[in-house]
Structure 1
Amino acid sequence: MTDDTLTPAPAAAPPAAAAPVSHSRLRVYARLGKLDVYDYYLGVFVVLAAVVLPPGPLGARGAAVLGVFAVAQILLLMAMTAFDDVTGFRDGSDITNYGPDHPLRNIQRKPLVAGTLTVRQALWFAWSCAAGAALLLAAAAALAPHRPLWTVIGLVALWVVTLQYSYGVKLSYHGFQELYLVALGFALVILPYGMITGQATGLLLVQAVLFGFGPLMFGVYSNTNDVDGDRAVGRPTVAALVSERGNARFIGVLSLAETLIVAAACVTGLAPWWFLPLMLPAGLLRMYQYHLGFRRDSIMRARRTGFAVHRGSVILMTVGNLLLALTRG
């Protein structure tokens, strides 16, 4: 994702005249909300697999909570990405990152740069989605069979902090953007699980961290590709702050970290012993992703591979939760 600073947009106008006029408005708003990038929404399946099998705690109220939360998170993340596009358009970073020097980036994914939406329309969409998300998160809490205090605080924090990613306070412009991506994924798994079960088990905590690593591990490759635009607007991603070699080492450490987290969970008893071999294919694919990005110098292919690794990891964690429920049943 691309964010912004308080600097005004550059004088050069975006190629609005070249934008096709035949696109339906709904399709353009879907692009603004990045509805096709559904990877953050997949945490629902990890939670569902952990609670669905008898004698699991799902029940009718739990199912309602999970369904309402799923829609709420879609609206909330569409608001976040819409605000992100407004910010990136205003400071010019999106125009840089999606300009002629970056032919692999599809300009139609940035409706403001492509000229298919105005800033006013984008802000209307973002605030509408944010309001809908607030109502649905409140409804999920009201329906929840369990409401430990940490889930209530977590829901409020989720709504407030998500909207501040690159708008308002602009958290991603104050560092720790990479940590933010993991924390967001973590919250989207552990909060619905907590509302359904009233607790946060060790295995679900580990899985929530692993789930958050997925968006991080295609985000850091996006940041590597967008380093010039981010540096120009003062967005302090790791890629923008360190040298190319330092960034490669940082991503290499992250690529190993997932497997090490799984191994540590198995050793400490937070996860069953078979969780490590179950997740090993994802770890191997993560190494292949790194090879593509920094040995074959194909950052955007590595980014695309990151989506596949994350989706595969979700499938493996879902299978793991089902297996665990069956063995306990």
Structure 2
Amino acid sequence: MTRATVRAAVPGTREAKLVSYARLAKLDVFDYYLSLPVVLSAVLPPIGGFDPRTLVTLGLFGLGAVLMTASLVAFDDLTGYRDGSDTANYRADPTLRRARRKPLVAGTLTEPEVVRFGWLTAFAGAGVFAVAVATAPYAPQWTVWLIVANFVFGIQYSYGLKISYHGFQEAYIAALGWVMVLAPYGLLTGRFDGFVLVQALLFGLGPLLFGVYSNTNDIAGDRSVGRPTVAALTTPRGNRRFVAALSLGEFLLGAAASATGVAPWWFVLLMLPVTVLRARQFGIGFGPRGDILRARAIGFTAHRVGAALLVTANLIAAVTP
């Protein structure tokens, strides 16, 4: 099946450019940006008086993250289109709604338009991040370096160095979530906190635990272009064990934090709804029916529930001894 065939099979591919650019930026996938309310809930309670710089810095960091992510996914789509992996991944059913989310595959944007958009959002994101650091109440060096490293590697996720094509895809998906919590927290407080670290690690596992289901669905396309995801490199049994280990590790991280006093004793209990969703997600994705895309959708729900529970945990911790 050619790219032209995929385009022809996707209904309603003619649409306004603004809509196509929004699809390219994946603005409807807000899951990484849920770090902002998590961080806000972690920094507001201990503050005696309201500091307007808190919201200004957090808002600027969030805008920078949106722009950087838009650049990342634009270049990712560009590379996936050029090497044919996106077309291959939609071969089985090109009429799926998700095919419209790839404007290059659907033919609603051209390669030059995507390249310009990728660089424009990258430079804009860098500028906004710089302003966020300059206006932040604190700017410890570890926080600044986290932001810089995340930006540099993010732009080269599938472009330039193409780190996701050299075995680091899963690591970066999780690391982006970790930075999205730790960096703004550092800018707002100037300190490093063990409980916030646990929250950052759990938050980063959220996108990873719907990303690995996407990779499972995209094995054929990724193998065809040599993209070394765990799903593409290992056997179905090995991939199933990898996803199971991540799902169990998420629970064990919260349990260990509660057991050691890094988190409140009740934290692991509060997060149990996420554990239940993970068990359901795994059963649907790797059970007898093997409905990977439905399991992936449950992953979004689990992550969003988890973010809400992290906010709840911070608010409870603020009012209890």
TM bucket normalised to smaller? over 0.9
> Which of 45, 56, 75 in structure 1 is aligned with 2:67?
75
- What pairs up with 1:108-127 in 2 under 5 angstroms? 108-127=100-119
Moved more, 55-64 or 303-312: 55-64
1:47 aligns with 2:39: yes
Question: Are the counterparts in 2 of residues 51 and 57 from structure 1 also a CA contact under 8 Å?
Answer: no
1:286 aligns to what?
A: 278
Q: Distance in 2 between matches of 1:202 and 1:260?
A: 16
Give unmatched runs, 5+ long, in structure 1.
1-9
Give the deviation of 1:302 after TM superposition. 0.1
SS of 2:149's partner is helix
2:19 aligns to what?
A: 27
> Which of 192, 195, 204 in structure 1 is aligned with 2:187?
195
Q: Quick one: which amino acid aligns to residue 300 of structure 1?
A: L
TM-score by structure 2 length? 0.95
> Which of 220, 241, 253 in structure 2 is aligned with 1:249?
241
1:4-34 deviation per Cα after TM superposition (whole angstroms, max 9, x unaligned): xxxxxx9754645666465111110010011
Question: Are the counterparts in 2 of residues 49 and 321 from structure 1 also a CA contact under 8 Å?
Answer: yes
Q: Distance in 2 between matches of 1:141 and 1:50?
A: 19
TM-score by structure 1 length? 0.93
Give the deviation of 1:95 after TM superposition. 0.5
Question: Are the counterparts in 2 of residues 45 and 318 from structure 1 also a CA contact under 8 Å?
Answer: yes
> Which of 294, 297, 307 in structure 2 is aligned with 1:304?
297
2:227 aligns to what?
A: 235
Q: Quick one: which amino acid aligns to residue 20 of structure 2?
A: V
Give the deviation of 1:106 after TM superposition. 2.4
Over 3 Å counting, the alpha-carbon distance change for 1:16 and 1:300 in structure 2 is closer
Q: Distance in 2 between matches of 1:68 and 1:57?
A: 21
Give the deviation of 1:59 after TM superposition. 1.5
Over 3 Å counting, the alpha-carbon distance change for 1:107 and 1:138 in structure 2 is same
1:277 aligns to what?
A: 269
Q: Quick one: which amino acid aligns to residue 315 of structure 2?
A: L
> Which of 164, 168, 171 in structure 1 is aligned with 2:163?
171
Over 3 Å counting, the alpha-carbon distance change for 1:96 and 1:135 in structure 2 is same
Identity rate of aligned residues, in percent? 53
1:222 aligns with 2:214: yes
Q: Distance in 2 between matches of 1:262 and 1:314?
A: 13
Question: Are the counterparts in 1 of residues 6 and 91 from structure 2 also a CA contact under 8 Å?
Answer: no
Q: Distance in 2 between matches of 1:222 and 1:103?
A: 17
1:138-161 deviation per Cα after TM superposition (whole angstroms, max 9, x unaligned): 000001111111011111112111
Give the deviation of 1:327 after TM superposition. 1.9
2:173 aligns to what?
A: 181
1:4 aligns to what?
A: none
Give the deviation of 1:75 after TM superposition. 0.7
Q: Distance in 1 between matches of 2:3 and 2:320?
A: 62
Question: Are the counterparts in 1 of residues 6 and 87 from structure 2 also a CA contact under 8 Å?
Answer: no
Question: Are the counterparts in 2 of residues 98 and 105 from structure 1 also a CA contact under 8 Å?
Answer: no
Give the deviation of 1:272 after TM superposition. 0.5
Over 3 Å counting, the alpha-carbon distance change for 1:292 and 1:67 in structure 2 is same
Question: Are the counterparts in 1 of residues 42 and 315 from structure 2 also a CA contact under 8 Å?
Answer: yes
1:7 aligns to what?
A: none
Moved more, 57-66 or 82-91: 57-66
1:28-49 deviation per Cα after TM superposition (whole angstroms, max 9, x unaligned): 0010011111101110010010
Give the deviation of 1:178 after TM superposition. 1.0
> Which of 301, 312, 326 in structure 1 is aligned with 2:319?
326
Aligned length: 319
Q: Distance in 1 between matches of 2:215 and 2:6?
A: 24
Over 3 Å counting, the alpha-carbon distance change for 1:302 and 1:258 in structure 2 is same
How well do the aligned residues superpose, as a CA RMSD in angstroms? 1.7
